[in-house]
Structure 1
Amino acid sequence: MRRQNIKQVARRLFVEHGFHRTGIALIAKTSGVAVQQLYRDFPAKEDIIAAIVEEDCGRFANLAALELALAQEDREAVRNWLISAVTRCDPEGDRLFLEIAAEAARNERIRSIFSNVRTAMISNMSRAFAGLTGHSVALDHHRMLAESLLIASMGSVCVRALHGYESPDSSIKLISCLIDGEVR
């Protein structure tokens, strides 16, 4: 429970103040956890980011739904998973995503976390594209489509976070073109 509290407080503070302006002392004070205890739970600020990213990815990825859809060869469910995986709306999460992306440009450890998430998402989306086309194994063009979809998703996150503009119909249309084009 203490670790969960620290993650929630740190997440909020990273969004409100940014990664650099949120120090361990502020996280400890706001969460009500002694600095020494916080360091026992998370040896570095990057470890808190890693835990937040892992939790967020698990929540948004919904891999159980993808696995079930693939096992049942339910193409509509696979299609819905692809759409939901990249069109979720989470304004706080979008701002945190941009903060982490900016830090990844400067911090090798954060870049590694970011890269691992990207690799996992592309792998899962590739499997989804393969399942849509009746393949049991993702092929190179499935990976290319997955990467294209991820790039489009990142663009949507930027537009939402920077401009406060949510265009789910446009995002879904673009995603549908990628999916339907592959299925045909």
Structure 2
Amino acid sequence: MMTNPSILQTSSGSRRTAKDRREQIIAASRTLFAQNGFDATSMAQIARESQVLVGQIYRDFAGKEDIIAALVERDVSELLDDPELIGATATRRADQLYRWLHQFIGRRLDEDRRRVLSEIISEGTRNPRIAAIITQAHERLRERIATAALIWVPHANRDAERERIAELILTLAGAIKHRQIFGLEVNLAVAAKLVAVVEAEIRSCS
């Protein structure tokens, strides 16, 4: 009887699906990239940390670039699936979208995420493939925010204004994240002023 290749036995005898295995690899890689950096992390280390054989890792990912791509995709999916953003878009509630705005711009990065983000950005400056992945992720998020901005600017033929609001939000949030990547604290008063800048732009477009 043939074994389904998407389901493997773990050392404990429990069943592990291909999706679970990929999750283990991604989680282990995130930990190692945060601790050691991208270049100093080997596939052998990822295999030990994830408890997945090196050969199996290469069946799931062509290399570390693919793992970074999966990390970026995971982080962007978390932002796109933010309950406040999704809820506001679904219910058309402006107050909920404003709550998301405050959280998004002022959100703090935990230490591991800060280090991994630093590694991803650094790799993106010298690796065109990673740079393209980051750019695509930015565009997906910008499109989602621009769609949500219909709540603030519901008028027809105002796509340019909604796009400008989305880009302003991403630019200001990026500035806060940039400071955190370099280990600088988030100044909540400054973050509030940045939110006020966005709110003023929304009022000017309404």
Range class of TM-score, shorter chain: 0.7 to 0.9
The residue type equivalent to 2:99 in the other structure is: N
Give the structure 2 partner of residue 44 of structure 1: 63
Number of residue pairs matched? 184
Give the TM-score normalised by the residue count of structure 1.
0.88
By how many angstroms is 1:116 displaced?
0.9
Q: Does 1:80 align with 2:99?
A: yes
Check the 8 A contact 1:126/1:138 in 2, yes or no. Answer: no
Tell me, in whole angstroms, the C-alpha distance in 1 between the residues paired with 2:48 and 2:104: 35
Check the 8 A contact 2:47/2:53 in 1, yes or no. Answer: yes
**1:147-162 mapped onto 2 (5 Å cutoff):** 147-162=167-182
Task: From 154, 161, 166, give the equivalent of 1:134.
Answer: 154
Task: From 117, 121, 124, give the equivalent of 2:141.
Answer: 121
Higher helix share: 1
Tell me, in whole angstroms, the C-alpha distance in 1 between the residues paired with 2:134 and 2:183: 23
RMSD: 2.1
Q: Does 1:102 align with 2:119?
A: no
By how many angstroms is 1:64 displaced?
5.2
Tell me, in whole angstroms, the C-alpha distance in 2 between the residues paired with 1:125 and 1:97: 21
Give the structure 1 partner of residue 76 of structure 2: 57
Tell me, in whole angstroms, the C-alpha distance in 2 between the residues paired with 1:138 and 1:54: 30
By how many angstroms is 1:136 displaced?
6.5
Larger C-alpha radius of gyration, 1 or 2?
Answer: 2
What is the CA deviation profile of residues 14-55 of structure 1, one whole-angstrom value per residue up to 9, with x for unaligned ones?
Answer: 111111111212211222211101111112211111212222
Q: Secondary structure at the match of 1:163?
A: coil
Check the 8 A contact 1:130/1:138 in 2, yes or no. Answer: no
Segments of 5+ residues of structure 1 without an aligned counterpart are: none
Give the structure 2 partner of residue 27 of structure 1: 46
Tell me, in whole angstroms, the C-alpha distance in 1 between the residues paired with 2:156 and 2:81: 20
Q: Secondary structure at the match of 1:97?
A: helix
Segments of 5+ residues of structure 2 without an aligned counterpart are: 1-19
Give the TM-score normalised by the residue count of structure 2.
0.79
